[in-house]
Amino acid sequence: MNSETAINPQFTAGLTAVVAYWQEQTISNTDDAVAALDTRRQNLYRAVVYGLKLEQTRRETAVVILQAFHLAERRGYWHEWIPLLQNAAAACPPDEPLLKADLLNRLGELYLTSRQLPASIESHLQAEAILKQTGEDHKRANDLGAIDLGANHLRHHVWSNLSMDYAFNRQYDLAEQYGQQALAGFRATNAPPKFHANVLNALGVAAWWRGQYDRAETLLREAVAIWRELNQFTDLLRSLNNLMGTLKAARKYDDVWPCYAEAVTYFSHNVGEYEKSLIEVSYGGALYEQGQYDEAKAAFQRANSPYLQQSSYFYHRATVAQCLGNTFLAQNRLADAAPHLEESARLWRQFDDELMLANTLGTIAELYAQQGKADDAITQFEQALALLAKYPDDAWAKKLTADFTRQLQEQKNGGQS
Amino acid sequence: MEMQLNRDRLDKDVQQALRAWHNSGDDSADSLSYLLLVQAQMAAAPHAKGPATRLAVNQVLLNALEEMTTQNETAVRVLKLRFLSQHSLLMVANQLNVSEHTVSRMQRAAIDQLADAIYRQELALRDSKIQEITALLPPATYSQLFGAAEIQTDLIARLRDPGSPWVIAVTGLGGIGKTALADSVIRRLVPELHFDDVVWLRSAAATMSGQSASPQATFDTLIIELAQRFWGQSGVENTPNQRLAQVRQRLKERPFLIIIDNLESETDTAFLLTQLNDLANPSKFLLTSRTRPAPQAIVFTCVIPELSFDDSVTLLNHHAQELGVMALATAVAADYQAIWNVTGGHPLALKLVAGLLDVLPLSTILGGLAQGGAGHIEEMYRHIYWQMWRTLSENGRRLLLTMPLVSETGGDPDYLGVISGLDETQLWPAIQELRSRSLLEVRGALHEKSYGIHRLTETFLHTEIINWPFEEQRSVKRET
């Protein structure tokens, strides 16, 4: 028996109406629109949960989910929305391959934001495979007109996301490959500038983490300029943050401060608290490297806002805890540093991020060294170096390896360099 | 904190405090340390050098003397000479050119005036603190509480008790009035200022879906909310462990009363109970939950019983009067007895019956309802809801059956219009109708009214009206 036949038709009509209503309400993805949507998210969520259950509302609900993606992504609501996207993609009928690919693409983005990298890559590769198959099917049917711009555009978007996935996964060649493919595709189809900015941002991040700082700066400045032109403040802050990170890595501190000053002017707009926190961490990091520990600590504490503490941004929370721990350590406030570093290590282990964990373990080792606990320090340095050895191609891993190896040797020599 | 402010005793305490003006130890200052004025002084200067209570008491005395100056300068002079400058009666008498006896009389009168001034200041401060605490409580969702006097008194006594129990759980079925009882208890306790502060936390919607990620996440969120209440956004420690330590220290230093309302999840409740005892003493926790704590939990459990016959009658009449339902005006004892027999004294059920009496004869409402027995409560609610449903207008039904689409936060009238498809001229009468049947709950503040339904109403709609097959069948059984 079809269980849906008995459902009250007036309720179904109400559900259909509310899904249509939310389709209208989620069309815009500007920062202001997302902020306004955020205040009504519980009713949106409920409508979507109901809408996905019924066959007659499922497709339109999937459209709502796609349109509401920015709310989930910018406000850290992936805990609730990942299952919705999974359900929507799984229930997508076979004759809707583009819709399914779109859902998988967005699902992958949420996986990436929540730092579930294997799932993110898998989801984006699935989306790519569907789009590739669709194109081949149409070619075989000699229906080239059916391969519309939308499908092509979506494919480029998936490549752009794969570029970021692989950058985060420290597979920089693949990140570069997919990024260049996406860029070429967007250029060929004359896609709106925001898509160019996204892929430039991904390529910039990969270049930064590879140690190609000049190239990263060029790419990221180009992305920033596009977002600035579009008044897309949240994305602008994200690219500015990456640019600040690159400049800091290149030790171009004098170029970091203007970026921070510009970023702060956008804080009064409806931008996410997460993006503000990112900026404060980059700024604090630059101050820290300049030895301005009090100012750095103040920036990290601003980054560690109550919002962040209650949010699902566990990865960033780990970063902030690490930064605070480092700063207290630099100020020789060992008792204050310890809880932050332990908290950070706990969070990194949750994410299985070995490079970040190695960095934290090395810092804890430095703490032990300062406390005169040489054996504990040696153990922690060795654990950190074992993890770092897995990433010979990573610029930061190389830097940490050199640093920790030197300190390990000092501890083994009884504290003498 | 000592609660009672006794004007007669204040004279003696003020005199003792004046005599102790120059004492370096803190013990002598205890005579006025129970005053909020003194505690506020100490809080304002937490790092003051010297004996903190003594300095705070002296500042309170000085402030009151200052206030007296405009009214009676001589009295202030006498007190300052006698206690601040430590002049003898004879010295003061010579300075004022009066007899020692007169100085003694002037001194007594001045102390009385000083005590008056302190009394007024203390009352004003207490009023302001009570208002401050009350303003942060959620608005009461009831106009009057019935049949709860005994349990209310018992709870108040346990919360007033400076010893255990430290954690109290108010439990009971949905619709029985747990939140209302907790609210009424708190509103009685707040003016007594037994606690430094009373903090009401609602355990709900940690996520959009209303489900917390984990019991630990629920607990962490509660700790953050407490920390923010105590220190504001910027004063909260950074890591969960540090925050917990920070909050624990505050709750251990001074007595606070923390209410955690609406604990739905059994695992959340069980986990919280394992954590809260460590934070309690002298602070206390009051929880409301549908889940009865496990026997091994260190918690005093207060199960809300159904209303007695007399209380049910009072509630029925009160609610009918509020709704403008006249049917009960001619009710006799047997009618009330019949209602009570089938509703079992459940407040929500009684309210629903009161609403129904506006449109149906009592015999129809109660007809066919089994009395007592297993599953009686579920059957009773199902029956009443069905009666209610049958009496609703077409538009009332249309609105009600789409209300499950509205989240716990409620929906504004525009949203209700969207889901029901009713235009404005149809919507407001439908809202009014559902309100008059106690089917629609009003939420929100003065400028933003939103509407929602009780969980039991939603369950009825799911299982009986909408035939929604996707969720677990809750407490209301399907009609066969």
Residues B353 and A341: their CA atoms lie apart, in Å, by 60
Residues of B in contact with A320 (CB under 8 A): 238
The count of residues in chain A is 417
Taking a C-beta distance cutoff of 8 angstroms, is the pair A400, A359 a contact? yes
Amino acid at the residue B138: P
Burial A122-138 (b: 16+ CB within 10 A, else e): bbbebbbebbeebbeeb
Residue B471 has a pLDDT of 57
B467 in contact with A, Cβ within 8 Å: yes
The mean pLDDT of A51-57, rounded to a whole number, is 94
Task: Decide if A15 and B224 are in contact by the 8 Å CB cutoff.
Answer: no
Residue of chain A with shortest Cα separation from B229? A306
Instruction: Using alpha carbons, select from B121, B141, B138 the residue that is nearest to residue B129.
Output: B121
Instruction: Give me the mean pLDDT over the A322-342 stretch.
Output: 92
Q: What SS3 state is found at A129?
A: helix
Could you write out the DSSP letters of every residue in B240-288? HHHHHHHHHHHHHHS-EEEEEEEE--HHHHHHHHHHHHHH-SSSEEEEE
- Predicted confidence at residue B207, as pLDDT, reads 37
pLDDT at position B231 is 82
C-alpha span between A274 and A313 (Å, rounded): 8
Residues from chain A that touch B243, judged by Cβ atoms under 8 A, are: 309
Topology classification of domain B7-134: Butyryl-CoA Dehydrogenase, subunit A; domain 3 (1.20.140)
Q: Which of A123-127, A277-281, B246-250 has the lowest mean pLDDT?
A: B246-250
- How much is the average pLDDT of A280-302? 96
Chain centroid to CA B361: how far? 38
CB contact under 8 A, A14 and B208: no
Confidence at B160, pLDDT banded by 50, 70, 90: very high
The answer to whether the Cβ–Cβ distance between B469 and A7 falls below 8 Å is yes
* Partner-chain contact B238 A324, CB within 8 Å: yes
Q: How far apart are CA A234 and CA A74, in angstroms?
A: 8
Q: Which of B213, B221, B466 sits opposite A11 (nearest CB)?
A: B466
Distance of CA B363 to the CA centre of its chain: 39
Helix or strand (DSSP H, E) at B450: strand B449-452
Q: Where does residue B365 fall: left (phi above 0), alpha (psi -120 to 50 degrees), or beta otherwise?
A: alpha
| Residue A259 vs residues A220, A227, A250, A266: alpha-carbon distances, Å | 12, 14, 14, 11
Span B103-140, pLDDT tens digits: 999 999 999 999 999 999 999 999 888 888 887 787 77
Helix (H) or strand (E) holding B199: strand B197-202
What pairs with residue B449 in β-bridges? B444
Q: B402 vs chain A: nearest CA distance in angstroms?
A: 6
Q: Chain A contact for B230, CB < 8 A?
A: no
Geometric angle at alpha carbon B318, from B317 and B319, rounded to 5°: 95
For residue B205, what pLDDT band results from cuts at 50, 70 and 90? very low
Residue B210: its pLDDT value, please? 42
Looking at the complex, report in whole angstroms how far the Cα of residue A279 sits from the nearest Cα belonging to chain B. 18
Q: What is the pLDDT of residue A145?
A: 52
- Are A187 and A149 a contacting pair, CB within 8 Å? no
- Provide the 8-state DSSP code for B139: P
**What is the predicted ipTM?**
0.77
The C-alpha of B450 sits at a distance from chain A's nearest C-alpha, in angstroms, of 12
Round to whole Å and give the CA distance between A347 and A323: 13
Residue A48's SS3 state is: helix
Half-sphere exposure of A114 (CA within 13 A, CB side): 21
Element (H, E) at B441: strand B441-444
pLDDT, mean of residues A387-394: 89
Q: Band of the pLDDT at B179, cuts 50, 70, 90?
A: confident
Angle at B400 between CA B394 and CA B406, to 5 degrees: 145
B241: contact with A, CB 8 A cutoff: yes
Measured between beta carbons, the chain B residues lying within 8 angstroms of A304 are 238
Q: What is the pLDDT of residue B22?
A: 85
Closest-CA distance of chain B to residue A48, Å: 10
Q: Is the pLDDT of residue B295 over 80?
A: no
Q: Do B407 and A4 touch (CB under 8 A)?
A: no
What's the confidence (pLDDT) of residue B209?
A: 41
C-alpha angle with apex A73: A274 to A213, nearest 5 degrees?
60
- Please state which CATH class domain B149-303 belongs to: alpha beta
What's chain A's average pLDDT?
A: 91
Which residue, B378, B346, B376, is CA-closest to B474? B378
Give the integer Cα–Cα distance in Å for A163 and A106.
Answer: 14
Cα–Cα distance for residue pair A157/A211, rounded to 1 Å: 26
Would you state the pLDDT for residue A5? 52
Ranges A301-315, B39-53, B395-409, most confident: B395-409
Higher confidence at residue B443 or residue A378? A378
Q: Is the pLDDT of residue A85 over 80?
A: yes
Does B28 touch chain A if contact means CB atoms closer than 8 Å?
no
Report whether pLDDT(B390) > 80: yes
For A78-92, B96-110, B144-158, B329-343, which range has the lowest pLDDT when averaged over its residues? B329-343
Where residue A381 falls among pLDDT bands split at 50, 70, 90? very high
State the Cα–Cα distance between residues B141 and B347, nearest whole angstrom: 13
Tell me the average pLDDT across B3-26: 82
**Cβ count near B310 (within 10 Å):** 12
- Residue B167, strand partner residues: B285
Between residues A64 and B437, the one the model is more confident about: A64
Segment A236-240 mean pLDDT: 96
Average confidence score pLDDT of chain B: 84
- Which residues in chain A are closer than 8 Å to B213, comparing Cβ atoms? 79, 312
Tokens of A81: 């929305």
What average pLDDT does this structure show over A383-393?
Answer: 92
- From B217, which residue of chain A is nearest by alpha-carbon distance? A310
**Peptide linkage before B165 cis (omega within 30 of 0):** yes
| Cα torsion angle, B459, B460, B464, B465, sign | negative
Distance of CA A178 to the CA centre of its chain: 17
Share of chain B above pLDDT 70, in %: 88
Give the separation between CA A49 and CA B32, rounded to whole angstroms.
60
CA nearest A11 in B: which residue? Answer: B402
pLDDT tens digits for B59-73? 999 999 998 988 888
Least confident of A30-34, A150-154, A161-165, A308-312: A308-312
Q: Which residues, other chains included, contact A109 with Cβ-Cβ below 8 Å and sequence gap of 6+?
A: A69, A73, A120, A161
Domain residue spans of chain B = 7-134, 149-303, 309-466
Beta carbons of A50 and B405 less than 8 Å apart:
yes
Predicted confidence band at A185 (pLDDT cuts at 50, 70, 90)? very high
Strands (E), A216-264: none
- Give the gap in angstroms from C-alpha B237 to the nearest C-alpha of chain A: 9
Nearest chain A alpha carbon to B214? A79
DSSP assigned state of A160: H
Per the CB < 8 Å rule, is A43 touching B409?
A: yes
pLDDT of residue A2: 47
Q: Do B208 and A45 touch (CB under 8 A)?
A: yes
DSSP, collapsed to helix, strand or coil, labels residue A311 as: coil
Give the tokens for residue B141: 């969702």
CB distance A178 to A134 below 8 Å:
no
In the structure encoding, which two tokens stand for residue B16, read together? 């003792």
> Taking CB atoms and an 8 Å limit, are A42 and B408 in contact across chains?
yes
Instruction: Tell me what pLDDT residue B362 has.
Output: 86
A324 to chain B: closest CA residue: B238
For residues A404 and A396, what is the distance between their CA atoms, to the nearest angstrom?
12
Residue B76 binned pLDDT confidence (cut-offs 50, 70, 90): very high
- CA dist., res. B440 & res. A268, Å (int): 39
Count Cα neighbours of B465 within 13 Å in the Cβ-side half-sphere. Answer: 25
Question: Do strands B284-289 and B300-303 pair parallel, antiparallel, or not at all (unpaired)?
Answer: unpaired
Query: Strand, helix or coil at A180?
Result: helix
pLDDT at A259 over 90: yes
Question: Is A7's CB within 8 Å of B466's CB?
Answer: yes
CA atoms within 13 A on the CB side of B2: 12
What digits encode the pLDDT tens for the residues A308-319?
877 778 888 899
Q: Which of A8, A17, A80 sits opposite B465 (nearest CB)?
A: A8
Cα(B288)–Cα(B138) distance, rounded to whole angstroms? 14
Which of B207, B208, B224, B389 best tests the A interface by mutation, with the highest count of A CBs <10 A?
A: B208
**pLDDT of A351 strictly over 90:** no
Q: Measure the CA–CA gap between A277 and A271, rounded to whole angstroms.
A: 11
B239 in contact with A, Cβ within 8 Å: yes
Going by pLDDT thresholds of 50, 70 and 90, the confidence category of residue B233 is: low
- Is there a contact between B475 and B459 (Cβ–Cβ < 8 Å)? yes
**Paired tokens of A179:** 């990024």
Using one digit for the tens of pLDDT, what is the confidence trace for A4-27? 458 999 999 999 999 999 999 999
**Contact call for residues B336 and B369 (beta carbons, < 8 A):** no
pLDDT value of position A15: 97
Decide if A213 contacts A249 (C-beta within 8 A).
yes
- Are residues B239 and A321, on separate chains, in Cβ contact within 8 Å? yes
Cβ-contact B443, B452 below 8 angstroms: yes
Nearest residue in B to A297, CA atom: B238
DSSP A136: H
Q: Which stretches of chain A sit within 8 Å of chain B by CB? A: 3-4, 6-8, 10-11, 13-15, 17-18, 21, 41-43, 45-47, 49-50, 53, 77, 79-80, 301, 304-306, 309-310, 312, 320-321, 324, 339-340, 343
**A306 closest CB neighbour out of B236, B241, B469:** B236
A339 contacts B241? CB cut-off 8 A: yes
Report the residue from B238, B407, B466 with minimal CB separation from A46. B407
Tell me which of A35-44, A373-382, B36-45 is least confident.
B36-45
Burial zone of B264 (CB within 10 Å; 0-12 exposed, 13-18 middle, 19+ buried):
middle
CA atoms within 13 A on the CB side of B400: 35
- Count of A-B CB contacts under 8 Å: 99
- Is the CB of B238 less than 8 angstroms away from the CB of A310? no
Q: In this predicted structure, what is the pLDDT of residue A141?
A: 65
Q: Does A310 sit within 8 Å of B221, measured CB to CB?
A: yes
Q: Supply the pLDDT for residue A382.
A: 95
- φ, ψ of residue B471 to 5 degrees: the values are -105, 165
A349 and A357 Cβ atoms separated by less than 8 Å: yes
Distances (CA, A) of B51 to B26, B29, B47, B84: 6, 9, 10, 17
Angle at CA B171, nearest 5°, toward B315 and B294?
160
Q: Mean pLDDT, to the nearest integer, of B337-356?
A: 86
- Taking 90 as the threshold, does the pLDDT of residue B145 lie above it? no
| pLDDT computed for residue B479 by the predictor | 30
| Count, residues in chain B | 480
B260 has which bridge partners? B201, B287
**CATH code for the part of the protein at B309-466:** 1.10.10
What's the pLDDT score for residue B478?
33
> What pLDDT, in 10s, does the model give residues A104-121?
999 999 999 888 899 999
pLDDT value for B475? 34
Please give the average per-residue pLDDT across A175-183, as a whole number.
96
Helix A253-265 × helix A233-249 angle, to 10°: 170
Phi, psi of B408 (to 5 degrees): -60, -25
Testing the interface with B: which of A1, A42, A52, A319 to mutate, by most B Cβ within 10 A? Answer: A42
pLDDT > 60? residue A266:
yes
Q: What pairing do the DSSP bridges indicate for beta strands B449-452 and B441-444?
A: antiparallel
Measured between alpha carbons, how far is residue A344 from residues A106, A310, A316, A341 in Å? 29, 16, 10, 5
